[in-house]
């Protein structure tokens, strides 16, 4: 079966660069996406919204396509896909109740369902393109998830995924994890998750049986008006970084903030 497949990672300038990284086979024990859409948008949506057009370009999403957004969150990529192909041609899934509710509210004409990549509730070959933006590293079974994405994609269609360059230190959270590591050498950052090192997404795509694999780096720039504007969303409990901050006492939080 011939199918175009496209993994990408994202890079950026020193404090805001991203890319693909390594895989330990392990998972964060307490990754939290059981947060409101507003918290997500302030913490990660500020990066994932500007990433979405570049990623959709890379995946060659154009009109007259039926497209699936896997791990849609509150809908940063969904919004871009709707803009390109219209809401009736977009479907989206996410395991987080709060994100599914938010995506439903934001895109009432999009088919939004609560599901994981590993068990997609769609028929074989239902989509022209299946995309996962910043999701593979959170899948419990990344190869299974990518294989499922391939199953629901037509022959000759596109399966695409991107993650931040956590291992290369060019992700938007790298500055934060660098500071955390200076205070605690044993801190478990995100640099060992699936696909977060250069070449590893392509390796996972190959293991999932995909072929004609293309790999590239995507780069975006986001400016923060003040330090507080950058820091405050880390205190909202979103994702591994937010969970890490929430687990620190007030003194350690203050030390990390100062660092």
Name the residues that contact ligand SAM, by CB under 6 A: 33, 44-45, 48, 70-73, 76-77, 94-96, 99, 116-118, 133-135, 138-140, 145
Say if CB 152 and CB 125 are below 8 A apart: yes
Order of strands across the sheet that contains 111-114: 111-114, 90-94, 67-70, 127-133, 153-164, 4-11, 216-219
Residue 156, judged by CB atoms within 10 A of its CB (0-12, 13-18, 19+), counts as: exposed
Least Å distance, CB 229 to ligand SAM, is: 19
Say if CB 213 and CB 5 are below 8 A apart: yes
Least Å distance, CB 206 to ligand SAM, is: 20
Least Å distance, CB 12 to ligand SAM, is: 15
CA angle at 197 for the pair 247 and 184, rounded to the nearest 5°: 30
Least Å distance, CB 24 to ligand SAM, is: 16
Contacts of 26 (CB under 8 A, 6+ apart): 192
Least Å distance, CB 160 to ligand SAM, is: 12
- Whose tokens are 């990390």? That residue is 256
Nearest to ligand SAM of 175, 184 (CB atom)? 175
Nearest to ligand SAM of 104, 252 (CB atom)? 104
Query: Quick check: helix, strand or coil at residue 126?
Result: coil
- Give the whole-angstrom CA distance, residue 15 versus residue 169: 9
């Amino acid at each position: 079966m011939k199918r175009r497949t496209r993994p990408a990672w994202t890079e950026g300038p020193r404090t805001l660069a991203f890319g693909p990284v390594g895989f330990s086979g392990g998972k964060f024990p307490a990754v939290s996406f059981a947060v409101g859409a507003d918290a997500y948008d302030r913490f990660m949506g500020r990066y994932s919204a500007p990433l979405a057009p570049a990623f959709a370009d890379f995946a060659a999403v154009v009109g007259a396509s039926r497209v699936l957004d896997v791990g849609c969150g509150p809908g940063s990529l969904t919004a871009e896909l709707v803009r390109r192909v219209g809401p009736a041609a977009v479907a989206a899934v996410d395991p987080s109740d709060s994100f599914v509710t938010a995506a439903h509210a934001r895109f009432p004409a999009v088919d939004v369902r609560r599901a994981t990549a590993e068990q997609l509730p769609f028929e074989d070959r239902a989509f022209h393109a299946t995309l996962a933006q910043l999701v593979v590293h959170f899948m419990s079974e990344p190869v299974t998830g990518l294989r499922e994405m391939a199953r629901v994609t037509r022959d000759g269609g596109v399966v695409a995924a991107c993650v931040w360059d956590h291992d290369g230190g060019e992700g938007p959270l790298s500055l934060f994890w660098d500071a955390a590591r200076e205070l605690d050498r044993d801190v478990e950052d995100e640099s060992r998750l699936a696909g977060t090192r250069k070449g590893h997404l392509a390796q996972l795509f190959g293991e999932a049986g995909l072929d004609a694999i293309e790999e590239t780096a995507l780069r975006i720039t986001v400016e923060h008006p003040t330090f507080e504007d950058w820091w405050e969303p880390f205190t909202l409990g979103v994702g591994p970084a937010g969970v890490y901050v929430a687990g620190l006492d007030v003194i350690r939080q203050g030390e990390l903030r100062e660092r």
